[in-house]
Amino acid sequence: MEALKSQTKLRNLWLDGCKLSTKSGLILRDLKNINNLEILDLSSNPISDEGLEGLMEALKSQTKLRILRLERCKLSTKSGPILRDLKNINNLEILDLSLNPIGDEGLEGLMEALKSQTKLRSLW
């Protein structure tokens, strides 16, 4: 991800199925340096709740992110408090959390975040 820091014009990043793991959370924090990111697809990567935590830290500064795909990322019920940070992404239009067993606890965090989402069109 060190190489991505200099990619200030990068708008779309698809890392679907790249076998990123929980260790990726620390690396994903570097995404905060990419200010023009509009689409981020991390689907089919077992980043789990630990990786999500690092990712959400980076996404707090993302003002242009419109699409976030986290399908099959092994997010669990522990992701609830982390998912609350989605409230900081104001331009989010599409959010894909499908095929993650977030359970009731994860859903509570997600519902809290959705209260501030005014542009969200699709939620999977």
Q: What is the pLDDT of residues 34-70, one digit of tens each?
A: 888 999 999 999 999 999 998 998 898 888 999 999 9
Instruction: Kindly state the average pLDDT of the residues 95-116.
Output: 93
Is there a contact between 69 and 38 (Cβ–Cβ < 8 Å)?
Answer: no
Q: What is the mean pLDDT of the chain?
A: 90
pLDDT of residue 61: 81
Instruction: Kindly state the average pLDDT of the residues 100-107.
Output: 93
pLDDT of residue 5: 64
Residue 20 has pLDDT above 80, yes or no: yes
* pLDDT tier at 7, thresholds 50, 70, 90: confident
Residue with more model confidence, 10 or 41:
41
Sorted by sequence, the CB contacts under 8 Å of residue 48 that are 6+ apart come out as 21, 22, 73, 74, 75, 76
pLDDT of residue 9: 81
Instruction: List % helix, strand, coil for the chain (3-state, nearest 5).
Output: 40, 10, 50
Residue 17 has pLDDT above 80, yes or no: yes
* pLDDT tier at 4, thresholds 50, 70, 90: low
Give percent of the chain above pLDDT 90: 61
In CATH terms, 2-123 corresponds, of 3.80.10.10, 3.40.50.2030, 3.40.640.10, 3.40.50.300, to: 3.80.10.10
Residue 68, phi then psi, degrees to nearest 5: -130, 115
